Structure 1
């Protein structure tokens, strides 16, 4: 039997609106693991932000920071840090407009400004406190992604200033800043190669704008019922919402788990 693998986005997919993991999702992931199917997190978050989820779900492989930092079975297999001089220029441009930057390293997030309202609001949606402020974090630590906190009408201005980069919205006044071409899909490609799994045997769940490329590139893409319209259009199928057993129900329909399967106790990593 050929190996199979399932990738899961976090916010709005694994995690519901209260940032909790539904019991049906925990059960579904355990059932996949019992069936010998690899389970992987694929997220825009920095690893330190989801360590508790890895432990809770007994997962040791992840495509993080929108494909910029990839770990397979506990070992780093791919990194793609951003250019420090570009980050310096972006920091100055944002500061001059009253905007803020959050720098995402592999194990830390630092901020460019003190007490910035939009930055605080953005991280609060992930139940995170305000980060350490270090305007030159990128000088001494590899940064794989930046968060830009600006008005909704300003993203086009930044796109014109930095043509080699893309600005992907994830909040009302929050954008992921990534090198053009970077995506969860690239990280997944690296993961599939390391795991020796064919794309046709890969599956992915997502709900947001940063999941679109992943849902298009994966063998079978599944959009959550609570997802944005563009993610649903990119997917091969649409399941129920994350709060309505969407992951569990889709895996049943795909035949990757069976309704009458028993779930054994899994030792956490």
Structure 2
């Protein structure tokens, strides 16, 4: 389960105490991005990554997910690893053990502004609540085909090809509750869609390039200004009474920049863009070359 604690056999009534004791004895706390860090091209998790996370937690360290995904869209193979908590939706939500630390959906008028912005410019988009991704049938089909093409292009030569399976946790856009939207993601046909959105929406929103591969055009993510992975990490650390200096953050995308800034050590994956690597304190190997494991070894969370 996603929020499984290290001592998973403890009675429910003392889960909070178990986590607190774990914090007191832990020497490090790690925040891990999902796509491109834990998960390779949307489908595979390296055995070394699973071992790194489980061994680190067994040794008394804490490991949190830190993702732009909705909590309801985290793949089962990632959830099954077991974590001490999760930051989701790019920082709009955060949990620690069984406790909710951050719950900051967008104001409805902000969501309406984004919808109008996308519709006026004929930009495809979807909205995330903490539970699910909400997309129109047109966008669902585009995402399905795009992700299947991307996964096929990055698969191993002898890996069997499978039919598109859809984006996990996707629901119809018409059913979204505007009071619960945490984040928006857009798919633009023009290469400058992200930079234009930053110029036109930057007064109220935090706009960053996304990680979805588009053969032409650009993809971006939008949250409220001040709502980032970094802001959520600060809330979690304050909640636990843990200093920034013992935190490490590992990621490969532009929504990880604030995570790098907040954590004592910011680590870029080897598969990250060169420009992003320059903003991190150091670089580990790629997601396919045991990047998480090697970073954990280097910083003493697991034995090499």
Give the TM-score normalised by structure 1.
Answer: 0.87
- On the 8 A contact 1:166/1:180 being kept in 2, the answer is yes
Q: Which residue of 1 aligns with 2:28?
A: 4
Q: SS state of the match for residue 278, structure 2? A: helix
Instruction: Out of 78-87 and 67-76, give the one that drifted further.
Output: 78-87
Q: Which runs of 5+ in 1 are unaligned?
A: 260-269
Distance of 1:129 and 1:14 partners within structure 2: 17
**Aligned residue runs from structure 1 range 199-238, under 5 A:** 199-238=244-283
Give a deviation string over 1:161-180, Cα, whole Å, max 9, x none. 32211221113332111112
Q: Which residue of 2 aligns with 1:129?
A: 167
Distance of 2:85 and 2:75 partners within structure 1: 11
Q: How many residues align?
A: 257
Q: SS state of the match for residue 45, structure 2? A: coil
Distance of 1:204 and 1:225 partners within structure 2: 14
Matched, 1:57 2:81: yes
Tell me the CA shift for residue 249 of structure 1. 1.4
**Aligned residue runs from structure 1 range 60-139, under 5 A:** 60-111=84-135, 113-116=136-139, 118-120=142-144, 128-129=166-167, 131-135=170-174, 137-139=176-178
Matched, 1:169 2:209: yes
Matched, 1:183 2:228: yes
Distance of 2:252 and 2:81 partners within structure 1: 20
- On the 8 A contact 1:60/1:72 being kept in 2, the answer is yes
Q: 2:46 aligns with which of 16, 22, 34?
A: 22
Give a deviation string over 1:38-90, Cα, whole Å, max 9, x none. 11000000011116245421214001111110011022111111121122122
Q: Which runs of 5+ in 2 are unaligned?
A: 1-24, 152-164
Q: 1:246 aligns with which of 291, 295, 298?
A: 291
Q: SS state of the match for residue 243, structure 1? A: helix
- On the 8 A contact 2:90/2:228 being kept in 1, the answer is yes
Q: Which residue of 1 aligns with 2:301?
A: 256
Matched, 1:145 2:183: yes
Q: SS state of the match for residue 204, structure 1? A: strand
Distance of 1:168 and 1:118 partners within structure 2: 21
Distance of 2:183 and 2:41 partners within structure 1: 24
Q: SS state of the match for residue 107, structure 1? A: coil
Give the TM-score normalised by structure 2.
Answer: 0.77
C-alpha distance 110-39 of structure 1, shift in aligned 2 (>3 A): same
C-alpha distance 176-122 of structure 1, shift in aligned 2 (>3 A): farther
Distance of 2:42 and 2:196 partners within structure 1: 33
Distance of 2:81 and 2:246 partners within structure 1: 21
Tell me the CA shift for residue 199 of structure 1. 0.9
Q: Which residue of 2 aligns with 1:198?
A: 243
